[in-house]
Amino acid sequence: MIFVTTGTQEPFDRFLKIIDAIVPYLHEEIIVQAFRDIYNPKNFSLREFISPGEFVSIMERSRLVVSHAGMGTILSALRMDKPIVVFPRVAAMGEHRNEHQIESANKMYDMGYVYLASDENALKSYMLKKDIQPLKKIDNKASDSLINSLVDFIG
């Protein structure tokens, strides 16, 4: 199963159209969470809201996570040791308030944490790859050095 999620805060119709075009090739269950805007998907039903508990259980069941470059989703997928493909929102196309998704997606890709796609072909080849592997697993706690620095400062 593939879990696609783009957050609840802003539309991302360009991405939903691409997912809709890929779904007929998948032959696999897909769950798509996104903000509902103008585009009406033909090949999947869109879920606007998923509770945190269900979010975790869907992610646990999935073999692949596909998402916008939101750090909450990226961190959740890496903790569960799931492969994640990020498709960043582009502010120049009105999809976000600034280009930080492109910047953080590129950085996370360069550091080997995520797969990166910015067009339909790249995304399709990742989604059709049945043996796509998780990249790096992270802990659910921040660096000890950061925690120790905070404790020293707070007293």
Partner 1 sequence: MTEKQKIMAVASVGGHFVQLLTITKALEKHYEIIYCSTHDNCRDLVGEREYYLMEDFNRKTPWKLMAGFIKQVRMIKEKRPVAVISTGAAPGLAALMAARVCGVKTIWIDSIANVQRLSASGRIARMFVSRIYTQWPALADGKVIYAGNVLNQ
* 107 vs 129, beta carbon nearer partner 1: 107
CB of 28 to partner 1, least distance (A): 27
Q: 79 CB contacts (<8 Å, ≥6 apart)?
A: 137, 138, 139, 140
Residues 121-150 that bind partner 1 (CB under 8 A): 136-150
CB of 12 to partner 1, least distance (A): 14
Residue 32 is inside which H or E element, if any? strand 30-33
Q: 153 CB contacts (<8 Å, ≥6 apart)?
A: none
CB of 51 to partner 1, least distance (A): 6
Q: 13 CB contacts (<8 Å, ≥6 apart)?
A: 37, 38, 39
* 29 vs 54, beta carbon nearer partner 1: 54
* 104 vs 118, beta carbon nearer partner 1: 104
How many residues bind to partner 1 according to rule CB under 8 A? 41
Q: Which stretch binds partner 1 (CB under 8 A): 40-48, 58-66, 67-75, 120-128?
A: 67-75
CB of 124 to partner 1, least distance (A): 26
CB of 135 to partner 1, least distance (A): 11
The C-alpha atoms of residue 123 and residue 118 are separated, in whole angstroms, by 7
67-76 b/e (C-beta count within 10 Å ≥ 16 → b): bbbbeebbeb
Q: Does 76 bind partner 1 (CB under 8 A)?
A: yes
3-state secondary structure of 45: coil
Amino acid 1 reads: M
55 is written with which tokens?
A: 């979010």
Contacts with partner 1 by CB under 8 A lie at 7-9, 51-53, 69-73, 75-76, 78, 100-101, 103-104, 106-107, 111, 113, 136-151, 153-155
